[in-house]
Structure 1
Amino acid sequence: MNRLRIILFSFIAIAIAACEKGGHLEKYPLDAITAPVFFKTPNDLKLYVNQYYDRSNFPIMDKGRGDVGTDIYISETSVNTRFQGIRTVNNAPALNYSGVRSINYFFANYHNVEADFEAYKQYVGEAHFFRAMFYFNLLRTFGDVQWIDKVLTMESPELYEARAPRNIIADKIVADLDTAVEYLSAEKTNGYTRINKWIALLYQSRVALYEGSWEKYHAGTAFGVADASPHRYFEKAVAAAEQIMASGLFDIYATGHPGSDYNDLFGLRDYSTNPEVMFWTKMDRDLGIHSHSKLYRMETPEGYGITKEMADSYLCADGKPIGKSDLFKGYSNLTVEAEGRDPRFRQTIFIPDAPWMVAPDGTVRTWQEVYDRLYTNSTNSSATGYMRRKDYNPNSVYHDLNFEETPSIQFRYAEVLLNYIEAKAELGQATQTDIDNTIKKLRDRVGMPNLLLDAIDADPNWEFPALSPLINEIRRERKVELALEDFRWNDIARWAAADELIIGKRPTGARAAQFPNKPALPVNAAGFLDPFANAVPGGYGFDADRDYLDPLSINELTLNPALGQNPGW
């Protein structure tokens, strides 16, 4: 493989400018883009950065498969090879710098624009944001990487240099986001055309929380950082989130219906004026911009299922864990299990009385129909019996057999609040006021009691018994509120939590005897579905000295031995 195909990005191949039409993207003629003639006007810059709004950069919830393969959501036909510990260097992912190359081409040429900087600083800010995004993806995947901030040639010595330590990369990502915040518009807008400074601040809080947690919880391991300074990143996460919170522009979506507001948020058709959704993908089939059909969840579960470990995380309505509350009625069936629980349980997981299909004439069919035919064949099988309801709108008029216009939420204010309170707690600075300004807002939406700092109920089943009660409850709140939104693996990785959540364990499901049809899946001694009993009989074999990061491929190391391999590989 030619080195330029790995770390350089052919400009002709990627110079997709996009004419904006109603906030959406179309391809710009490739032969019309050359540096000497293209980078002349602010609109040229706008057209160039439009390519980064492609949904490959904003995939969250597009297919309804967020968090699949983790400890909270699985497919019965696919066991996570990372969790199994069976990956090899031979199937290592590419060290892909194509996005970085493209962005650096922008930085090398935007100065040619013949206009005042104020006329185009928005697009420069967007470029800094997207470079930060590309590098954060590299950081999460490989840890240490090369920092390249200029366009390289075949003769560039940087092609053969060693990787920079991860904290240096993290600092440069944070710096890119600082510049993005400075240049991007502070206007809230409709939330789907262009990013603004608030999105950059949210992303900065995410990056800083990730790196701070990684440096704290991987300290003393092969993944640790020399001269680690987790507090510095936690402080940055707090500061970034605090700016958003102080702006007064955003709030938690709530209409006063705690039994439905959380679920409704993810099924809305438009987020232009939504107080919580900070950025979203608007679909338009006429322009070829669409989401994948969600009819699969209107017809068959296709083997997917939320795990019992996720279901057990929901508190009871009195704010106590299921092991401490008299409100918990057991596991005899899904209806009983959901009784007296945090309303997010039944707004995330289908219960038989939930609306499943609502016809145009208003006729309602409930999920009882699916429940009754579960396990009659492979397509009507669920790995766990807990089927995903979140991100599902039962109105059949909105769904199509192939493609539909169901929008995707990309960034929402709830994450800002959770990033803030976790970073404050990690700094040892969290107060009841901080909790009231964050977790209470999330719980108020669903009518749950607030978390009281001096009255946290000890949970015999805390996932992290060695950590403080506050950290445990903040992590629980994050798990519940952000479930199925593709945060889980990143959280496990930055917390170095494989020991507690993965190694030697395997996911389980609901009580098997409740279903009208006998599941064709293994069942454990306690009577719960145990879908991976045969695939991983001894539990997951995740290697904590290796599997938190991906390996570099043999091709990469052959072309540049100075890169070095990641720990354990």
Structure 2
Amino acid sequence: MKKFPYIILTFLLCWTTACKKLDTLPPSIISDQDVFSSAAGVTAYMARMYSELPIEDFRYSPERGLNMFWIISPTSATTGEALSRDQNGSMQENTGLSTWSDSYRTIRDANYFSENIGKYAGNFTNDQVNNWLGEARFIRAATYFALVKRYGGVPLVDKVLKYPEQSIEELKIPRNSEEKIYDFIGTDLDYAYANLPETNQVGRANKYVAAGFKSRAMLYAGTVAKYNQISLVDGSGNRLCGIPVAKAVTYFKAAYDAAALLDGKYSLYKKAWAAGDKNAQYLNYVNMFFDASSPENIFVRQYHYPESVHGYDAYNVPRQLMGANGYSSEVNPTLDFVELFDGFPKNADGTIKTTTGGKYDLYTNTMDIFANAEPRLRATVVLPGDVMKGVSIEIRRGIYTGPSAGGISPLLPAGSTAHYPTDNIVQSANASQTPYKLPNGTTMNPAGLSGYFTGDGTNSVSGFSIRKYIVPDKPTSEVLENRSDQTWIELRYAEVLLNRAEAAVELNSLGQSDKSYLQDAFTQINQIRERAGADLLTGTTDLTINVVRKERKKELGFENKQYWDMRRWRVADKEQNSTIYRTLMPFYSANDGKYFFDARLDERNSRYTFDVRWYYEQIPQDEIQKSQNLIQNPGY
């Protein structure tokens, strides 16, 4: 009887150091029959494959890779969504990561299952076997998508490779074309859709999960076909990097049709939503990320303390809510991100309005400027002075003590990255502050409880903090590394609607008229905007691809999607060309007893430049050394 190593489904948690990957216990050598002859054995095998899926979740960053506990170089701090003390520029994924080899290990597991479950089919119903085969195809497709979006064309392995039955040369499989890999993914997901059940256990694929993933993958392929300018062709004429532009329509239609399959199967989360009630809309959006029964959740990765955990809360809470580990404020949304939203004063160019006639506008409270902001913004970002866990989050750059009669002029010239002058500004270097006595006799900490601190990075470096996914009622005693266990929502219905809308607008722009694509996109975008509490679009005339992309950035912000969107749209090198992102610094005017805001470039002068080579990442050099049939991507 054939033996095969199966890794036991017990994770070894690294309690002593948070910077190590989750690992598994040494494999136990058990027989195929032990695994494939019972539903329990198959379930265990499936659970292992799902745990290996390359999902960019709470334990992912480009610097540290997949399934890493110590995420202090957050993905959103590479895209312009946020600033961070530990990530100060754009980047490709760390080339020392094991994404390539780990992915092919998962593909082998899926292939092995597909080739062997049939031998034990007599133990199960036909539906059971078909469902499991559908899951294996889904897992294989999702894993190939993780590879192709990084590297372009990769070796296509659709069966178990066997050594020594096959020679070393036979095992050195060359890269296939990028187009063929996407076609293979589409075929696998079609098979999964046809064979998977309508419902499945939470965290496992059903037929609509497969359709949703297909909408994502085919949209990626369509945008690469339309916008990519990089090409790499091997000696046999296979285009390893790039897809013929003629295929764009095919892929966009596949994305659109796949998204439409979810009609009536899922819906946007609106359990606490009420028309015209901004606070209800805000609370509804916050709650959406913690409600296990949400009708919006399509595919999730579950965590549960203590056996499977992450550290999202510990790394990202505002400084004043910091736990005993001493981490906080890793993700600080940029003003650029905040300005995507509506509902606060803006200049003609769309930037926030903080002055009138060359003098700062004054506010009694820091939240006054955002009083009418889109509820989705409040639910995503902690604005200065807004409430989290029952307390006002104090974010202040300093206390202005200078004269204010006739108004306060800008503290720095426009476009400056200089530090603020020390004259007439009381600042704090760290959280150990000396309270300043105000003219009315009361005292105030210059930087508030959450910064900005001039000499300490554990604070809000942008003037904002992150709210999305922070557990609203988690006690400070549990704000620790390896103590968070909220579920990661990998695919939700809002993304499917956005995929559908984007594909529809692209098809309309490419002259496709077999359906009312623009009207359909208008309907999908307004569904999302209504739930968000945003102003609805009034017609299709102004519905451009940039409008759809902007909506996607707002809705999916801080969900590790923009990192890949910027790449597939091929805009990263344009958006990040020695770019300095903007911040909003609140000041308290001592003589006025009011606040003003200074919108400025990041005073740390962190510049973001995206290298066009990174649209296709470097294939690990050790993989090329193993097989000279692998051709490296351009520029490396």
Change (3 A) 1:179 1:321: farther
Counterpart-to-counterpart distance in 2, 1:110 and 1:206: 29
Change (3 A) 1:54 1:68: farther
Map Cα deviations across residues 472-506 of structure 1 (whole Å, 9 max, x no partner). Answer: 10000000010000001110110000243112323
What is the percent sequence identity of the aligned residues? Answer: 24
Give yes or no for the alignment of 1:110 onto 2:122.
no
Change (3 A) 1:238 1:269: closer
- Residue identity in the other structure for 2:460: S
**Aligned match of 1:408:** 488
Counterpart-to-counterpart distance in 2, 1:314 and 1:448: 8
Give SS of 2:205's match: coil
**Aligned match of 1:323:** 348
Which of 104, 128, 132 is the aligned partner of 1:123? Answer: 132
Which of 420, 423, 426 is the aligned partner of 2:500? Answer: 420
**Aligned match of 1:280:** 300
Which of 445, 448, 452 is the aligned partner of 1:375? Answer: 452
Deviation at 1:28, TM superposition (A): 10
Change (3 A) 1:532 1:423: farther
**Aligned match of 2:547:** 473
Q: Count matched residues.
A: 511
Please show how residues 109-188 of structure 1 align to structure 2 within 5 Å.
Answer: 109-113=116-120, 114=122, 115-154=124-163, 155-156=166-167, 157-187=169-199
Give yes or no for the alignment of 1:434 onto 2:520.
yes
173-182 vs 398-407, which deviates more? 398-407
Counterpart-to-counterpart distance in 2, 1:18 and 1:39: 19
**Aligned match of 2:392:** 366
Contact 1:208 1:237 in 2 (8 A): yes
**Aligned match of 1:60:** 57
Higher strand share: 2
**Aligned match of 2:578:** 504
Give yes or no for the alignment of 1:310 onto 2:337.
yes
Counterpart-to-counterpart distance in 1, 2:350 and 2:371: 12
Counterpart-to-counterpart distance in 2, 1:528 and 1:120: 60
Deviation at 1:47, TM superposition (A): 2.2
Deviation at 1:568, TM superposition (A): 1.3
Give yes or no for the alignment of 1:251 onto 2:268.
yes
Deviation at 1:385, TM superposition (A): 1.8
Contact 1:250 1:275 in 2 (8 A): yes
- Residue identity in the other structure for 1:302: S
Contact 2:522 2:540 in 1 (8 A): no
Map Cα deviations across residues 375-418 of structure 1 (whole Å, 9 max, x no partner). Answer: 33525323312211122233244971431443322221100100
**Aligned match of 1:197:** 207
Give SS of 1:170's match: helix
Counterpart-to-counterpart distance in 2, 1:385 and 1:515: 17
Contact 1:205 1:240 in 2 (8 A): yes
165-174 vs 447-456, which deviates more? 447-456
Change (3 A) 1:264 1:53: farther
Which of 209, 212, 218 is the aligned partner of 2:222? Answer: 212
Give yes or no for the alignment of 1:390 onto 2:468.
yes
- Residue identity in the other structure for 1:181: Y
Map Cα deviations across residues 192-215 of structure 1 (whole Å, 9 max, x no partner). Answer: 243211111111100000011011
- Residue identity in the other structure for 2:81: I
Deviation at 1:270, TM superposition (A): 5.3
Counterpart-to-counterpart distance in 2, 1:186 and 1:18: 29
Contact 2:502 2:545 in 1 (8 A): yes
Structure 1 residue ranges without an equivalent (≥5) = 1-9, 20-25, 358-363, 457-468, 517-525
Contact 2:303 2:487 in 1 (8 A): yes
TM-score for both structures, normalised by structure 2: 0.72
Give SS of 2:299's match: strand
Counterpart-to-counterpart distance in 1, 2:548 and 2:134: 33
Deviation at 1:141, TM superposition (A): 1.4
59-68 vs 403-412, which deviates more? 59-68
Structure number with the bigger relative contact order (C-alpha 8 A, sep ≥ 6) is 1
Counterpart-to-counterpart distance in 2, 1:50 and 1:93: 21
Deviation at 1:527, TM superposition (A): 5.7
Change (3 A) 1:58 1:532: same
Higher helix share: 1
Contact 2:58 2:310 in 1 (8 A): no
Counterpart-to-counterpart distance in 2, 1:435 and 1:102: 39
Change (3 A) 1:269 1:341: closer
Counterpart-to-counterpart distance in 1, 2:588 and 2:253: 49
206-215 vs 30-39, which deviates more? 30-39
- Residue identity in the other structure for 1:200: A
- Residue identity in the other structure for 2:602: D
**Bigger Rg over Cα:** 2
CA RMSD of aligned residues (A): 3.5
- Residue identity in the other structure for 2:448: D
**Aligned match of 2:313:** 294
Give yes or no for the alignment of 1:50 onto 2:41.
no
Deviation at 1:111, TM superposition (A): 1.0
Counterpart-to-counterpart distance in 2, 1:432 and 1:564: 41
**Aligned match of 1:447:** 533
- Residue identity in the other structure for 2:108: R
- Residue identity in the other structure for 1:111: G
Counterpart-to-counterpart distance in 2, 1:180 and 1:140: 20
Change (3 A) 1:484 1:270: closer
Give yes or no for the alignment of 1:486 onto 2:586.
no
TM-score for both structures, normalised by structure 1: 0.80
Give yes or no for the alignment of 1:566 onto 2:629.
no
